[in-house]
Amino acid sequence: MWRLGRSLPERTVGAPKVVGEESLRKREVALGLRPGQPFLLPPDGGPDLDVLAYFSSLSFGLLSEQSQLSYAKDLRLFLSFMEGQGRQWREASADDGLDYEFWRRRDERNPRRVSASKFAREWAACQRFYAWQERRGVLSSSGGGLAGVVDLALRPHRESRSNRVKWLLPTAYTQWRDVGLAGLGPGGDRDPSWRGRNGGRNAAFADLLWSSGLRLREAGSLLTVELPEIDSASHYLRGRVGSGVAKMRRGRDFWVSRTARQGIQGYMVSSRGLAVDRARRAGRYDVAGRLLIKARQGQRLTVEDEARGQERTVLVGDLALRDRMRLFDRTDAGWEPTMVFLGESGLPMAPDTWERVFAGASRRCLSLGVPVTCHPHMLRHSFALRMLLTLTHAFDRRMGLTAEERREYRHLFGDPWVLVQTLLGHTSPETTRNIYLEPVSGLQVDLFLNDDELQEDIAFSTTVTKYLAGTGLVNVGGQE
């Protein structure tokens, strides 16, 4: 089996020295590996220089941290599969790709088979690696070998993806949040057996996903300085996802409801504030390697990097997750983390932690007879569908145009399909279509979202209940 490793992180000032650390760092630098970089080693433990060259390449380095780790894990599976067949990765052909697809998806001897959509993502990571090696000229692409892997299209049919997609209607979401996260009973009364202490935090995070369509990593890494100001005149508030944590490292705007933003503010002044006080008293913030904000001018920060022992200027949006988790701001009471969502320890929560929080909430719902489950990405799907139907309804209602006038207006300014693409932050029209949307521009997002009549869920719920509830893909809620 190929092994997944990480190069040593940047050394922090004052950190104790480890035996052999200096020589190991020199070897990693010689191999072109960046600090904290994922990489793969073959079964014999000796470095494969061509594989390491891929992980140290600029092409791979431009991926987000999460994408780098995911691609490394996906590639490890295929390289290990080839090793199990007694063949080197350089010998891979289209037939090997077909055999691998069968093993990952349909072979009953494999207890960890995956869905078609998950396999498609894994295979894309493998093809990316082989295409890079082909461009390098390391291997010959003649004879159907390497080229066969690069060109082999192992994509799931659309229906195999769609039958795994699920949405929640507002009623179902409210049930799940109140019972699973906030500790209420199925009837909406307080459950005396509830012992959770983070209901306000968890509900605030879920409402953020529900009302914004943000990805888990994007929402989970938000900083207090990135939260939009609360504006009582707007139903939806505009914020910005930083390029340091956005998918494919492209920053974008996002919109969050004023109600959800107020919920986050409530969490910050209550349970978050208490967690910060506890952490200060326990000395949890007195650690080496912090990134301390010394001055701020708009989105430009002057920070003292304790790991490097120097001051530097950074843009808020450019900060990667590892830097966000060590970024501290000074308040009247002392230093505190700038990440919005903190654990009970008062330290920043890793975004992946939310998967366990959601899973626990779903288990609680099912144990109390509430047939609603939810995972973070389901809220993004639900947001997409809700915005599509709500905006389409508003477009037709508020414009009062004839069919011909409507066609011309959409040609000039775009239509609700485009707004959803903009809200989701998709760069590829095909990506948006894959979750049943079509692409256009986002010129009217603020116009539509801040229409008073749009705040009603009536049109959305009625339409989905009538046409989609019977498919089994939409949880309408209200059932026990």
What is the percentage of the chain residues whose pLDDT exceeds 90? 41
Residue 164, SS3 per DSSP = coil
Predicted local distance difference test score (pLDDT) of residue 203: 97
Q: What DSSP line would sit under 332-360, residue for residue?
A: TTEEEE-BS-B-TTSSBPPTTHHHHHHHH
Rg of the chain in Å (alpha carbons): 25
What are the b/e assignments for 100-121, b being 16+ CB within 10 Å?
bbebbbeeeeeeeeeebbbbbe
Predicted local distance difference test score (pLDDT) of residue 165: 46
Predicted local distance difference test score (pLDDT) of residue 307: 83
pLDDT tens-digit series, residues 219-278: 999 999 999 999 989 999 999 999 999 876 788 899 999 999 999 999 999 999 999 999
Residue 230, SS3 per DSSP = coil
What are the b/e assignments for 24-48, b being 16+ CB within 10 Å?
ebeebeebbbeeebbbbbbeeeeeb
Predicted local distance difference test score (pLDDT) of residue 441: 36
pLDDT under 70: residue ranges of the chain = 10-19, 139-166, 248, 391-418, 427-474, 476, 478-480
Could you tell me the pTM of the whole model? 0.68
Predicted local distance difference test score (pLDDT) of residue 85: 86
